[in-house]
Every structure is written in structure tokens, then in C-alpha cells.
Structure 1
Amino acid sequence: MAKDPEAFPGKDYHDPPPAPLFDTVELTKWSFYRALIAEFIATLLFLYVTIATVIGYKIQSDTKMNGEVCGGVGVLGIAWAFGGMIFILVYCTAGISGGHINPAVTFGLFLARKVSLIRAVLYMVVQSLGAIAGVALVKALNSSYETYGGGANELSAGYSAGVGLSAEIIGTFVLVYTVFSATDPKRNARDSHVPVLAPLPIGFAVFIVHLATIPITGTGINPARSLGAAVIYNQDKAWDKHWIFWVGPFIGAAIAAFYHQFILRAGAAKALGSFRSNPHV
């Protein structure tokens, strides 16, 4: 039986070509430097608001300082601060820099050939600098900053390094997988509302992951966030097992990139097409 040519219509979307590994032309464009500035400012604002929320909660719930046991925004409020700020900042910067605001997200998109190596490296640098500047601003404006741990990520008592690493891997996988799914050109073509709504699921992913992993690691899933707090707080406990907050997110991002690009998208589609075209298989 002959195949109906209209039964398999052409794609109604176009995958962008892979980004070149070394794109030196980017260095000559103002749009590239504008994107770097956007990533720096977005990460600065992200760390300022979120770390200030963490410190504020600890102050309000410290009974020794006339606080209340259940005072402040609570863990739920902290999670909302992180997720809400990502939603806002991705919405604001997506059209300028892509709204990464996280070296792990940048790393995952680099592995998927969405950005060049030059852009990926410089994004990570300005994200880290922005995070340091954001936490420094919190310290400058809050005299109780160091008293309450500086918002630094730490492995909680009772958890091994393996558990902490696993939590960071899984949490970052959820985030980066959501980024890939929300920005998939195939979905954007068929559901015109998706580009507008993309920051929403990304922000919710950050919110949900924080609820799950705050009790374990304080939730990193963003190496710049962890580095910024560790550099400004600069106490031994902030640097103890700090590697977890880099290795875990990068592994999680790599798994998410592989899963989305080669299992859900190109790899699986090609394998299925090859199977259908060969009647002897």
C-alpha cells in the first residue's frame, strides 16, 4: 500500500542551526556585550533579592532577637523568592541574552549547541561576577548578614556528600529540562502562546526544586548563586564541600541536555524514521 504523501506533512517549524564552537564574530557585535551586561545585572538582582529574603527570614525567626518561631516568610516564602525572581528576570532578559542567569543552564545549552563556547564561557564569568556583586550589596545594606550565615549553601547535618550531590544533580536536571522544553522551537511553532509563557514553568521549576532540596543543601542548582554567597560570606563552612554546588549542577545540566536533544528530539525521531522506512526490520 502506497504511503499518502499528505499523511506525513513537512515540519511546521525550523530548528535553528547549531551554534559554531568558536564564533569570534560575536566579539565584534554590540548585541553580544549587551547580552553580557544583561546577564550580569540579572544575576546581581537575583542574588540581591533572594539572599536578602533568606537573611530577613532568619532575623525574623530568631527568638533570641525577639523574633517569632514562625516569623518571617518561611521556607515556602524563600522558595517563592527564588522561583519568582527567575520568572521575572527570564521574562525581562530572554529577548536580550536568552535569560540564562545560571552557569548550569548556560552549560546545558552549550552542550546542545545553542550557544558558542565563547558566549558560554563569558556568560558564566559575568553571572559569577553578578552574583558576587549582588551578595555584596546585601552585606552592605544588612548589618546582620554574617550573623545569619550569609545565605551560603551548606550540606545540612545528617546528609552525606553523596546525598547532597544527588540532590543537586536531580534538582538541576529538573530546571534545565524545563528550560529545554519551554524553549523548544517545535512547541513554539505549534503553540504560539508558549514563548510568552516560557518564563513561568522555568520559575516554577526553581520554586519546586527549592521546596524539595532546601532541607538538604539549601538548594544550589546554580553555581553562580553558590559562589557569590561563599565569596562574600567567606567562612570555612561555606567552602566545605563547595564542589558539590558546581559538579552537581553541571552533571544535572549535561544529563538534561542529552535527554532532551538525543532521546526526546533528534535521536529518537531519526531512529523511529529509520525503523519505519525499513520494512525488513
Structure 2
Amino acid sequence: MAKDIEVAEHGSFSSKDYHDPPPAPLFDAKELTQWSFYRALIAEFIATLLFLYITVLTVIGYKSQSDVKGGGDVCGGVGILGVAWSFGGMIFVLVYCTAGISGGHINPAVTFGLLLARKVSLIRAIFYIVAQCLGAISGVGLVKAFQKAHFNRYGGGANGLNDGYSTGVGLGAEIVGTFVLVYTVFSATDPKRNARDSHVPVLAPLPIGFAVFMVHLATIPVTGTGINPARSFGAAVIYNNDKAWHDHWIFWVGPFIGAAIAAFYHQFILRAGAAKAFGSFRSNPNNV
């Protein structure tokens, strides 16, 4: 039986009976002939649509209710805490609903991180990202259809740098925020952890939803919190204002960098990918 090589506390190598799932093929054209693949795309599309519909409505509703000039109360609405709960809560619900169908990505950055870790194929990753972006556009489109006056007046829920913050700060906030999210996704869905800590039940959508909630609390004042390129893209497309597009690149570059760092950290540092590769190299008698 193959053994999983780990670095023990005292620096020596120990082993556990565990088989890592094989890496996903980079190109798997066979997926395009399977109904399960298209079912997963539909799940990603609908989940992202619902995510944007609920969360952007919450953002616009909060701005409307707290707008003193519009007859609201400065302390009205759900507040930043409520907005953060909206994003975190919807991710919890939607990941729970779609995890067994599509993996519950609902975020191009998550898909990108899993691609780098060879958890999904390149074909699946590309189609997922397209489905997520189309779902986001559709979700925000529904918000505009139902709340057109408020949508235009309160910025359409679009992300952007807030006053007083530089581009570097905004980019850094998106990188760190997405790192927290994608790192949590890897940790919560790690099959090795599930095998090792089977006595500690982990409902994966729960920590993922809490990660989204906590990141929103920290970064709403900076960028409005993107950490999801589809969320930022959908709002920018439907609102289509110069301000929404001005710093839009931050909400793609930042999340993709954060996802890449999280994938590397989890796979090669925490999971000791480099150590396992080196250990296999040393144990191979054919190597000189």
C-alpha cells in the first residue's frame, strides 16, 4: 500500500495509510460528453445568480435605508454587519446546496485555485468561470429590473476603491481577503483531513461561509469587498458606470493572486508537497 510521507515533529519522516486522489487531467475532452458536466455548469450559473441577487439587493437596500437625504435614517438598514452576513450566509447556503453537484465554487478565484492544485481540469475551470460570470450578470440584472431607481441611485452594488485608499491598499486587501477564503476552501474540503480527523465532523460550507463573512467585515470599508471576480464583474456590467470600471482590474488580479498563494501554501507547505516529492526521489533506487 502506498504511504503518505509526512514530516514528523522531530524532523523524521513518518507515514500514514492514505491515498491522495489522483490529480485531475489538464485536458479532459471526455467531460464535454457527460451530462454531469453540464449539470454542474447549470448549478454554478444558478448559484451565482442567486448569490448576486440576494447580496446586491441587500447592499442597495442598506444604502437606501441609511440615506438621510432620501428620507432614511443614518442608523437604518442592516448595516455593514448585515451586509457581511448576507454574503457569508448566502455562500454557506449555496455551497451546501451545490457541493455535491459542482463542488460549490461560485467564484472564479476558487475555481482558479483548485485548477492550480489540479483538483479540476482546465476545461472545467474555463466553463465554470464563464458560467459564474453569466450567472452574476443575470443576478444583478434581476436586481436592476426589480429596483431600477434605487439600483442607479446607489451604485448598483458595484465594487470600487473607497475614498482615502490607494490602489496598492485595495489590491492588497483583495489578495489577502481571497487568500483567507481559498485557504479555508482547501482546508475544509481536504480529504486527508477528513480521513485523519473523522471524529471531528466538519460541515465544509460553514467555515467557508464564515470566511466570507469575516473578510467582508474587514474590507467593505476599503473596496466594498470583491474576493470574487464574478461578483464584481456582474455588478460592473449591469451598472456600467465609469467609476465601476476604473479600478475593476483590482477585482480580478487581486483574487487570482490570493487564490494562487493559497493553493501553493496549502499544497506545498501544509500538505508538504515538496517534501513528499523529495522523499519519493530519495527512495527511488533508480535515482543516482
TM-score (normalised: structure 1):
0.92
Q: Identity of paired residues, percent?
A: 83
- For residue 75 of structure 2, what is the amino acid of its counterpart? C
C-alpha contact (below 8 Å) 1:135/1:232 kept by paired residues: yes
Structure 1 unaligned runs (5+)?
1-6
Structure 2 unaligned runs (5+)?
1-7, 284-288
Is it true that 1:21 corresponds to 2:33 in the alignment?
A: no
Is it true that 1:190 corresponds to 2:196 in the alignment?
A: yes
Whole-angstrom distance in 1 between the partners of 2:49 and 2:18: 35
Match for residue 82 of structure 1? Answer: 87
How far did 1:270 drift? 2.3
- For residue 141 of structure 1, what is the amino acid of its counterpart? F
C-alpha contact (below 8 Å) 2:188/2:202 kept by paired residues: no
Is it true that 1:40 corresponds to 2:45 in the alignment?
A: yes
Deviations 1:183-228 (A, max 9, x none): 1111111233767511000000000000010000000000000000
Q: Could you say what secondary structure the match of 1:64 adopts?
A: coil
Runs of 4+ in 1 over 6 A off after TM superposition: none
Partner residue of 1:258 out of 261, 264, 278: 264
Whole-angstrom distance in 2 between the partners of 1:90 and 1:70: 32
Match for residue 270 of structure 1? Answer: 276
C-alpha contact (below 8 Å) 1:183/1:195 kept by paired residues: no
Whole-angstrom distance in 2 between the partners of 1:52 and 1:80: 13
Whole-angstrom distance in 2 between the partners of 1:11 and 1:141: 56
Whole-angstrom distance in 1 between the partners of 2:35 and 2:73: 51
C-alpha contact (below 8 Å) 2:95/2:104 kept by paired residues: yes
How far did 1:65 drift? 2.0
C-alpha contact (below 8 Å) 1:213/1:219 kept by paired residues: yes
Whole-angstrom distance in 2 between the partners of 1:164 and 1:176: 18
Seen in structure 2, the aligned counterparts of structure 1 residues 12 and 72 have a Cα distance that, compared at 3 Å, is: farther
Seen in structure 2, the aligned counterparts of structure 1 residues 15 and 251 have a Cα distance that, compared at 3 Å, is: same
Coordinate RMSD, CA, aligned: 2.0
How far did 1:10 drift? 5.5
Match for residue 207 of structure 1? Answer: 213
- For residue 172 of structure 1, what is the amino acid of its counterpart? T
C-alpha contact (below 8 Å) 1:182/1:195 kept by paired residues: no
Seen in structure 2, the aligned counterparts of structure 1 residues 14 and 85 have a Cα distance that, compared at 3 Å, is: same
Whole-angstrom distance in 1 between the partners of 2:252 and 2:259: 11
Deviations 1:217-251 (A, max 9, x none): 00000000000000000000000110000000000
Whole-angstrom distance in 1 between the partners of 2:272 and 2:191: 13
Pairs aligned (count): 271
Q: Could you say what secondary structure the match of 1:11 adopts?
A: strand
Seen in structure 2, the aligned counterparts of structure 1 residues 194 and 84 have a Cα distance that, compared at 3 Å, is: farther
Is it true that 1:113 corresponds to 2:154 in the alignment?
A: no
Is it true that 1:231 corresponds to 2:231 in the alignment?
A: no
